[in-house]
Chain A
């Protein structure tokens, strides 16, 4: 079983809808949680970075971490076609080493 589980999708939503993404994990040592966006043939771009449990909001993006359930989420409000990409969750329990989910492909249709 993988340490980080993420549904690969694809997840298709109409423009303007809320995109809901999530990951589960098994390693209770994870303390730092991240969401990245990756366009085809590009490097991942950091969207959200959180430490421990709680919520964090940045513009149209909201990240939630529930360490008791070992579950993290990312919500994208008012989705745009330019949000079409692969979204990767990542987490860390030891310096410098991120453990990634498989990535969810999101398609926002006009």
Chain B
């Protein structure tokens, strides 16, 4: 079974720009969760989608948004980028939401 894929793997943006990250879950999984990982804060939950509905949300500003498509692929968007948004963004795939399998991540650098 193919694992979780994330594109792109690396991104460099400047402050004020917006960015869209993509995640393809394991075949058959309907839950996709997104996390931000930084050296200072560790892994922090952004949001989770299950069957195209946002089921859970973390404590991030509204600049962070996401969506899920009917084929379970998910995207997250960050608008008006700030320097502090530089991080590794990870998505995780799950059949029901708890046993989560992570992708390789997208490393975002904001200049």
Contact = CB atoms under 8 A, between A and B. Distances in A.
Chain A contact patch, size range: 20 to 34
Interface of A: 32, 34, 36, 41-46, 49, 88, 90, 92, 94-103
A100 B104 contact: no
Chain B contact patch, size range: 20 to 34
Given A44-B90, A96-B94, A100-B42, 7 more contacts: A41-B107, A43-B90, A44-B102, A96-B31, A96-B33, A97-B45, A102-B42
A43 B45 contact: no
B33 A98 contact: yes
Interface of A is mostly: strand
A95 B43 contact: no
A43 B99 contact: no
B33 A88 contact: no
A103 B98 CA distance: 19
B25 to A, nearest CB: 12
